Amino acid sequence: MHITLETDYAIRIVSCLAKSGKRMDARSISEETGVTLRFSLKILSKLVASGIIKSFKGTHGGYELDKQPHEITLLDVIETVEGTYYFSRCLADDYECNCSDEEPCSTRAIFLDITQTVQEKLRNCTFDMLT
């Protein structure tokens, strides 16, 4: 199991902006991270919509973090790209499962514990730790 390529790239982009500590244009971000410009723009759009980064238009435009690196977690970035993290789809609200929170099957209970552990680990890893 692994994160998607898009999520990997989103983490690289946020890390790049956290390390630079300044506004960067999309082309520079693309070159610095090794992500194509087209894919960078797609990811940057999602990160702007989620409030992790902000964009500026014009000749001095570009992108920069909208929060301090210590306020942005790996969970924030992963869930921006992929949605709520669940170890198994049976934990998602929109999945019809044969068990419930009141009477979970043994698999669901284990998957819930794993999900909560992973979410907590990702929530505790901030971008100031990665720079």
Does residue 66 belong to any structural domain of this protein?
A: yes
Burial of 58 per CB tally in 10 Å (0-12, 13-18, 19+): exposed
Q: Which domain holds residue 59?
A: 5-123
Q: Is residue 59 part of a domain?
A: yes
Strands (E), 34-130: 53-56, 62-65
Q: How many CA atoms lie within 13 A of 122 on its CB side?
A: 18
Residue identified by tokens 């992500």 is: 35
Domain-located, residue 130: no
Asked whether residue 128 is assigned to any structural domain, the reply reads: no
- Residue 107, domain CATH: 1.10.10.10
Q: What is the pLDDT of residues 12-25, one digit of tens each?
A: 999 999 999 999 99
Number of independent structural domains in the chain:
1
The pLDDT tens digits of the residues spanning 73-121 come to 999 999 999 999 988 888 887 877 776 667 767 788 888 899 999 999 9
In a domain, 131, yes or no: no
One-letter amino acid for residue 112 of the chain: L
- List 15's β-bridge partners, or say none: none
